[in-house]
Amino acid sequence: MDVLLIGSTGNLMQKLVDKLDKEKHRIFMLTEEGKDTLSYRRVFETYRFDYDNACIREIFNSVKPDVTIFLGAYDWNFDWKGGQASSVKYTSSVLNMLMAYAAQQKGRFIYLSSDEVFSGLGVNAKLEVVNHTEENPKAQAVAMGEKLCLDYRNMVEGNIVVLRLDHLYGIPSRTEEIGNVCAQMCMQAIDTGEITLDGDRGIFVEVAEPAVETINAGHFTVDMEKKFSPVYLADAVEYIYQVAAAESCKRPVYQVSGSTAVSQAEIAELIQQQLKKKSGDNSVSIVEDLEKGRNSVSLAGFDFMEEFRLRAFNTPKKAIPKLAEFLQKNSARFSRRTDADANLVEKMKHGFREVMKAMVPFLENIILFIPFFMLNNRAVGSAYFDRLDFYLLYVLLFAIVYGQQQAIFSSLLAIAGYCFRQMYQRSGFDVMLDYNTYVWMAQLLILGLVVGYMRDQLKSIREEHAGEIQFLTKQLEDLADINGSNVRVKDVLSDHLINQNDSMGKIYEITSELGRYQPVEVLFYAAEVLSKIMRSKDVAIYSVANRSFARLFSATSDKARRLGNSVNYTDMTELYEAIINHKVYINKDMKDEYPLMASAIYEGEEMQMILMVWDIPWERMTLGQADMLAIVGSLIQDAVLRANHYMTLLEQQRYIPGTRILEPDAFEELVSAFMRARSRNLTACALLDLDTGGLTQEEVNARLGKLVRQTDYLGQDAKGNLHVLLANTDVKGADFVRRRFLDAGLGCQVEEALAV
């Protein structure tokens, strides 16, 4: 199925990609991160757009996902330090995704929530569960996302499922992933050498499985033991996949918790023991703060476990020490103490830069006022410059350059300078009573304000136009990216449809050629047929001898024979696990000792042959090529099994009674088939001429039965001479067999063909 993953890169996204790829699903990814971030090799296509972008609907139209998984509470693209602005962006993003999903009317939408949605719950003096007004923008936004999902489920009758994960924890890949209680306690121990536990007021509230589709639904109980069941990352990925792959889900909301309840004290002890084991001292202490307490939530996920019949493989006792060890090795990367110091310095630098940036126009205004003040003083009484108003020029300059705000400030400075100059000859009282002063001031202010206002308006219009152009340009780039990805997908699909090598008609036409060969030749030329269809020059076919070993029957090149004439296929663990489960093996790690692809041919439940392909370009190691290998194997299987059944029916007519010696006609046909295959480099073989020394056929049969392999053949030619056909044996190997026959008292020599 096609799966669309929406969220940021991180361990959760990586695990989901690995799981879906392992299960042979095609993966698409949507993220707000830029192109400089990590791209997953196993993702078919990655889209990088804002979640509230109008192009999201186009992406859903292009992908048409069978399952959409939105990381939600675990999507680190959202910066929750932004408070209300982050909550608004998150809510609008969820709404945009749901609208795009609803327009498709296809597939399942999975929203990942967390126990944080209940962070507003509290416990009063009577140990009753109540709501309190704790400010947590992330919790409120995630809860609103749940409500939007449930409302859309009812409105469009869509297949929308909410998964609340209880205290999700795992090995982090970024600092945002250490927000869970387990990682926080580990970092507290590493940073301070002390783990602080909540006091008696730290009562845990158990939230039962919701009975109706609201956030506050369900039965609440108070857990005095303060235990909860955290979910390990690997287990959570398995749970998410089971929900994604299920045919139907009975409930709209599932609470997912671990199978083992644990308290803060038990977590602290596990961390203490692990750090002590690594550091060699008991430097980490556990302290209970009686003045500190918090009300925490434990989700009850019994209904989820009952419906999906899953169990957790990673208990806190096993997983938390691994987490503590990892964080201890990477403490410099995740230390909050270091981050806090760095953040404080950065904030101070940023604040200083902002203040200086705002002060620059005022400083320029004050500095330039001085020369204009001096020029105005020199112009007074001058025959040429007496009518020139330097203060007016000064105000106009700053109104044009900086706008209305600086026009007012420069006007105030000019008025102060004008009054100060007038008081050289008159008193301040006379200056204030002179109506010419107010006329001049009004003229200066009006002119400065009007020019500054016009400048601000023109700037606003330019910025608006620039913003519109930028928005349209980005829309055009987004459409170009989507179109480019669609073109790539179309080209791949068109190539599959148009390319005659990949068409079903062409495959059947090629495999049907096997019907023209003699039954004894089918397996030889099956390798040629497989090489032609898979477009690989290195192909080998092994015949399964027993439940452990397979023997090489035919191959198209020396590279395809690299495993030798006999191979213990059960030792090739990855390959064996795939073919024993009737799957196609793909060598994703490019191991030299393994073929790039392999598949098995079965007769009923018995493995008959193993097909190995050693030469395939990386870009063609896809699920499509794997399916093609399986189809070709099935078509080859029909021809091979028909040939085997035919040979079985003629077996009594082909052998001399009471022996393993073939009749002359059958042996000559077999030798001719092997020789033709050897001439086309499909197999290696050697023919030995026996000197029986007067022994009867029965005596020769009894003596040679212990000296030849099951894949070798004894036969008689038309003149009555006995021969041995050694399969998959070159001249060097034949010489070794010849010496073994001589030691048994049977003379023999290597020959090229039967003497007819």
Output the pLDDT for position 508.
54
Mean pLDDT lowest among 24-38, 76-90, 500-514, 638-652? 500-514
494 within some domain: no
User: Is residue 622 domain-shared with residue 659, that is, in the same domain?
Assistant: no
Output the pLDDT for position 111.
93
23 within some domain: yes
Output the pLDDT for position 662.
78
User: Is residue 102 domain-shared with residue 194, that is, in the same domain?
Assistant: yes
Q: Which residues, 6+ apart, have CB-to-CB distance to 29 below 8 Å?
A: 4, 5, 6, 13, 17, 40, 43, 45, 46, 47
Question: Average pLDDT, stretch 714-731?
Answer: 77
Report percent pLDDT > 70 for the chain. Answer: 80
Cα of 3 vs its chain's centroid, Å: 11
* DSSP, res 385: T
Question: Average pLDDT, stretch 301-312?
Answer: 78
Question: Residue 38 is which amino acid?
Answer: L
Which phi and psi angles does 236 have, rounded to 5°? -60, -40
User: Is residue 675 domain-shared with residue 632, that is, in the same domain?
Assistant: no
Cβ(13)–Cβ(3) below 8 Å: no
**Token duo for residue 343:** 């953040």
Output the pLDDT for position 273.
84
What is the per-residue pLDDT across 229-286, written as a single tens digit (0 to 9) for each? 888 888 899 999 989 988 888 888 888 888 788 888 888 888 888 888 766 656 777 7
Domain closes at, from 649, 669, 703: 649
Q: Which helix (H) or strand (E) holds 665?
A: helix 664-679
321 within some domain: yes
Question: pLDDT band for position 217 (50/70/90)?
Answer: very low
664 within some domain: yes
Cα of 145 vs its chain's centroid, Å: 23
Binning the chain into helix, strand and coil, the percentages to the nearest 5 are 55, 15, 30
698 within some domain: yes
Q: Is the model's pLDDT at 637 over the cut of 60?
A: yes
Cβ(60)–Cβ(104) below 8 Å: yes
Output the pLDDT for position 222.
57
Q: Is the model's pLDDT at 647 over the cut of 70?
A: no
3-class SS letters over 580-625: HCCCCEECCCCCCCCCCEEEEEEECCEEEEEEEECCCCHHHCCHHH
The enclosing domain of 524 has a CATH number of 3.30.450.40
Mean pLDDT lowest among 265-269, 510-514, 517-521, 740-744? 510-514
User: Is residue 633 domain-shared with residue 685, that is, in the same domain?
Assistant: no
User: Is residue 718 domain-shared with residue 572, that is, in the same domain?
Assistant: no
Tell which wins on pLDDT, 548 or 98: 98
DSSP string, 326-370: HHHHTHHHH-HHHHHHHHHHHHHHHHHHHHHHHHHHHHHHHHHHH
3-class SS letters over 28-78: EEEECCCCCCCCCCCCCEEEECCCCCCCHHHHHHHHCCCEEEECHHHCCCC
693 within some domain: yes
Boundaries of domain holding 350: 340-470
363 within some domain: yes
User: Is residue 293 domain-shared with residue 350, that is, in the same domain?
Assistant: no
* DSSP, res 115: G
Question: pLDDT band for position 214 (50/70/90)?
Answer: very low
C-alpha to C-alpha distance for 244 and 213, rounded to whole angstroms:
20
User: Is residue 88 domain-shared with residue 136, that is, in the same domain?
Assistant: yes
Q: Is the model's pLDDT at 644 over the cut of 70?
A: no
Q: Is the model's pLDDT at 115 over the cut of 90?
A: no
488 within some domain: no
Question: Average pLDDT, stretch 669-694?
Answer: 76
Q: Is the model's pLDDT at 92 over the cut of 70?
A: yes
User: Is residue 322 domain-shared with residue 363, that is, in the same domain?
Assistant: no
Q: Is the model's pLDDT at 202 over the cut of 90?
A: no
Number of compact structural domains in the chain: 4
User: Is residue 82 domain-shared with residue 141, that is, in the same domain?
Assistant: yes
Output the pLDDT for position 5.
93
Domain closes at, from 304, 334, 364: 334
Output the pLDDT for position 6.
92
Half-sphere exposure (Cβ direction) of 74: Cα atoms closer than 13 Å: 34
Q: Is the model's pLDDT at 208 over the cut of 70?
A: no
The enclosing domain of 679 has a CATH number of 3.30.70.270
Mean pLDDT lowest among 435-439, 568-572, 581-585? 435-439
C-alpha to C-alpha distance for 204 and 102, rounded to whole angstroms:
38
User: Is residue 635 domain-shared with residue 709, that is, in the same domain?
Assistant: no
The enclosing domain of 15 has a CATH number of 3.40.50.720
Which phi and psi angles does 734 have, rounded to 5°? -65, -35
C-alpha to C-alpha distance for 72 and 38, rounded to whole angstroms:
19
Nearest in space to 584 (alpha carbons), one of 529, 515, 630, 522 = 630
Question: Average pLDDT, stretch 424-436?
Answer: 73
What pairing do the DSSP bridges indicate for beta strands 606-613 and 597-603? antiparallel
Q: Is the model's pLDDT at 70 over the cut of 90?
A: yes
Mean per-residue pLDDT of the chain: 78
Phi-psi bin for 728: left (phi > 0), alpha (psi -120 to 50), beta? Answer: left
User: Is residue 392 domain-shared with residue 533, that is, in the same domain?
Assistant: no
Domain closes at, from 582, 617, 649: 649
221: helix, coil or strand? strand
Q: Is the pTM of this model over 0.75?
A: no
Nearest in space to 682 (alpha carbons), one of 516, 562, 524, 541 = 524
What pairing do the DSSP bridges indicate for beta strands 685-691 and 747-751? antiparallel
Q: Is the model's pLDDT at 332 over the cut of 80?
A: no
**Token duo for residue 719:** 């003149």
User: Is residue 178 domain-shared with residue 297, that is, in the same domain?
Assistant: yes
Mean pLDDT lowest among 22-31, 402-411, 501-510, 678-687? 501-510
Alpha-carbon distance values, 288 to 194, 196, 388, 633 (Å) = 10, 6, 80, 66
Question: Average pLDDT, stretch 703-709?
Answer: 71
Question: Average pLDDT, stretch 299-310?
Answer: 78
Output the pLDDT for position 377.
74
Output the pLDDT for position 293.
55
Output the pLDDT for position 109.
93
C-alpha to C-alpha distance for 435 and 621, rounded to whole angstroms:
91
Alpha-carbon distance values, 331 to 10, 39, 188, 447, 565 (Å) = 18, 26, 11, 63, 53
